[in-house]
Copies of this chain bind each other. A is one copy, B any other.
Amino acid sequence: MTEPTHVKDTTGPDIALCAHATLRRAMRVISQSYDAALKPAGLKATQFTVLAVIAGRDPMPMTRLAEILVMDRTTLTRNLKPLVAKGWTEIGRERDERVRLVSATGAGKAVVAEAIPLWRQAQGQVERRLGADRLSALLGGLRALTEDPRG
């Protein structure tokens, strides 16, 4: 690879072409949109994502959940804290004392159910904005960015 990007001056690369800067900027904007939509349910967007995944599955080890969420294990540990504090998530044990089994409580599943229509609002806004096709292509590109080259 010779010239991956075009940098026209000596002061810096064009931030508009930077995949990281563009992603992070979009993430900030979209997060606020989803956070606002989910506010009536008392959930942040990130918490909704975690809780929705937990709610649809059997209790599973932290590391497994982190894999599913493509999230650092130690980040997950802390992201679960407010969910446990609110009684939406439980941390259980099994024979192997090293393992923590994460699961959603009844209240947790109820909150997810309550939040789904709110989530749909935010998701609908994005869809209307880009169009279903463009959004689908966008998410596909993001997934391609995220996938393990070896996987």
Contact = CB atoms under 8 A, between A and B. Distances in A.
Given A27-B27, A28-B71, A22 B142 contact: yes
Contacts of A126: 19, 145
A119 to B, nearest CB: 6
Contacts of A137: 137, 141
B12 A116 contact: yes
B127 A1 contact: yes
B55 A127 contact: no
A109 B10 CA distance: 10
Given A68-B7, A70-B3, A151-B3, A130 B145 contact: yes
A24 B26 CA distance: 9
- One complex includes copies of this chain to the number of 2
A30 to B, nearest CB: 5
Judged by DSSP, the binding face of A is helix
A16 interface: yes
B123 A134 contact: no
Contacts of A146: 4, 22, 25-26, 29
Contacts of A4: 70, 120, 123-124, 127-128, 143, 146-148, 151
Interface stretch (A45-53, A83-91, A93-101): A45-53
Contact of A112 (B12, B109, B138): B12
10 contacts: A1-B124, A2-B71, A5-B120, A12-B56, A13-B52, A13-B123, A15-B53, A23-B26, A24-B46, A25-B70
